[in-house]
Amino acid sequence: MSFGGQTPTIVVLKEGTDQSQGRGQIISNINACLAVQSTIKSTLGPYGGDLLMVDANGKQTITNDGATVMKLLDIVHPAARILTDIARSQDAEVGDGTTSVVVLAGEILKEIKEHVEQGVSSQTIIKGLRRASAMAVNKIKEIAVNTSEGNQRETLRKLAATAMSSKLIHRNADFFTKMVVDAVLSLDQSDLNEKLIGIKKITGGALQDSLFVNGVAFKKTFSYAGFEQQPKSFSDPSIVCLNVELELKSEKDNAEVRIDQVSEYQAIVDAEWQIIFNKMEALFATGAKVVLSKLPIGDLATQYFADRDIFCAGRVASDDMERVCQATGASIQSTCSDIQPPHLGTCSRFDERQIGGERYNFFEGCPAAKTCTLVLRGGAEQFIAEVERSLHDAIMIVKRAIKNQSIVAGGGACEMEVSAYLHGYADKNIPHKQQAIVKAFAKALEVIPRQLCDNAGFDATDMLNRLRVEHRKGAVWAGVDFVNECVSDNMERFVWEPALVKTNAIQAAVEAACLILSVDETIRNEESQQPQAPQRGLPPGAAQRALRGRGRGMPRR
Domain of 302 in residue numbering reads as 223-368
CB atoms within 10 A of CB 184: 22
Whether residues 264 and 383 fall in one domain: no
Residue 553 lies in a domain: no
Q: What is the dihedral of CA 114, 38, 78, 503, to 10 degrees?
A: 80
From the number of C-beta atoms within 10 Å of its C-beta (0-12, 13-18, 19+), residue 118 rates as exposed
Whether residues 208 and 247 fall in one domain: no
Q: Could you tell me the CATH number of the domain that includes residue 278?
A: 3.50.7.10
Residue 30 lies in a domain: yes
Angle at 452 between CA 447 and CA 457, to 5 degrees: 125
What's the confidence (pLDDT) of residue 427? Answer: 86
The model's confidence at residue 541, banded by pLDDT at 50, 70 and 90, is: very low
Whether residues 480 and 516 fall in one domain: yes
Q: What is the dihedral of CA 126, 132, 138, 144, to 10 degrees?
A: -120
Dihedral sign of CA atoms 309, 315, 321, 325 in order: positive
Whether residues 282 and 200 fall in one domain: no
Residue 537 lies in a domain: no
Whether residues 345 and 417 fall in one domain: no
The counts of H helices and E strands in the chain are 18, 20
Whether residues 263 and 344 fall in one domain: yes
Whether residues 112 and 181 fall in one domain: no
Mean pLDDT of the chain: 83
Are residues 189 and 419 in contact, defined by beta-carbon separation less than 8 angstroms?
Answer: no
Residue 539 lies in a domain: no
Calculate what percentage of the chain has a pLDDT beyond 90: 23
Read off the pLDDT of residues 92-142 as tens digits, 9 standing for 90 and up. Answer: 888 888 899 999 999 999 999 998 888 888 899 999 999 999 999 999 999
Residue 238 lies in a domain: yes
Distance between CA atoms of residues 183 and 177, nearest Å: 10
What's the confidence (pLDDT) of residue 93? Answer: 86
Whether residues 125 and 210 fall in one domain: no
What's the confidence (pLDDT) of residue 250? Answer: 52
The model's confidence at residue 20, banded by pLDDT at 50, 70 and 90, is: low
Are residues 335 and 350 in contact, defined by beta-carbon separation less than 8 angstroms?
Answer: no
- Strands 238-242 vs 51-54: parallel, antiparallel or unpaired: unpaired
What's the confidence (pLDDT) of residue 126? Answer: 92
Which pTM does this prediction carry? 0.78
Q: Could you tell me the CATH number of the domain that includes residue 47?
A: 1.10.560.10
Which one-letter amino acid corresponds to residue 243? Answer: N
Residue 557 lies in a domain: no
Whether residues 349 and 423 fall in one domain: no
Whether residues 103 and 235 fall in one domain: no
Residue 535 lies in a domain: no
What's the confidence (pLDDT) of residue 534? Answer: 44
Whether residues 302 and 251 fall in one domain: yes
Residue 361: name the closest of 372, 375, 351 by CA: 351
Whether residues 400 and 499 fall in one domain: no
What number is the average pLDDT over the span 223-228? Answer: 79
Residue 13 lies in a domain: no
The model's confidence at residue 59, banded by pLDDT at 50, 70 and 90, is: confident
Helices (H), 208-288: 248-253, 263-285
What's the domain count of the chain? Answer: 3
What's the confidence (pLDDT) of residue 461? Answer: 92
Distance between CA atoms of residues 199 and 197, nearest Å: 6
Q: Could you tell me the CATH number of the domain that includes residue 183?
A: 3.30.260.10
Rg of the Cα trace of the chain? 31
